[in-house]
Amino acid sequence: MRKFLTIAAAALLMCSCGPSANVLYYWGGKASDGVTRYEDRFYEAYGKSQSPESLCAMLYVYEDMLQNPGGERGVVPPGICAEYGYLLLKPETAAAFAESASKRERAIYERSDYAAYFPEYGLKLLQKELELYPESRKFIEPLLKKFAGK
């Protein structure tokens, strides 16, 4: 009996080790060095090497995460709609995208009048964050008031 319990305990421990195949959210796929594309692009867009090109790449990853929610929950990770929406609401984002986006990056949006489309889409994304994660209301409502006058 003792031998059986030892083997069962060892098997249980071995099953709990290692990376889990089940991931709650899709973070844009894998990039380099074992990080996700979201982490990789986020560091480029907001880290030392900020550039209009890195901003455009970040927008592409956000849209990919939004259009292809995966993981166990099948929804966009918490905060992504808010981050993405806020970035689109910043006036300099549309100008940088219009000047620096690649053809592939431009193809993700249904319209090309970025100065008009980005603020509209950004507000929709903030609303979507509230729908998906109502607990974010305390953070999102002030942004909606600021940008939409609500």
Residue 73, in any domain of the structure: yes
What's this model's pTM, rounded to 2 decimal places? 0.79
Cα R_g (the chain), whole angstroms: 20
Alpha-carbon span 126 to 144, nearest angstrom: 7
Residue 74, in any domain of the structure: yes
Q: What is the pLDDT of residue 16?
A: 46
Return the structure tokens found at 5: 């319990």
Q: Which residue has the tokens 């982490």?
A: 39
Residue 18, in any domain of the structure: no
Size of the chain, expressed as the number of residues it contains:
150
Domain containing residue 96: 23-148
- Collapsed DSSP state (helix, strand, coil) of residue 30: strand
pLDDT tens-place string over residues 90-118:
989 999 999 999 999 999 998 899 999 99
Number of domains in the chain: 1
Sign of torsion over alpha carbons 102, 105, 111, 117: negative
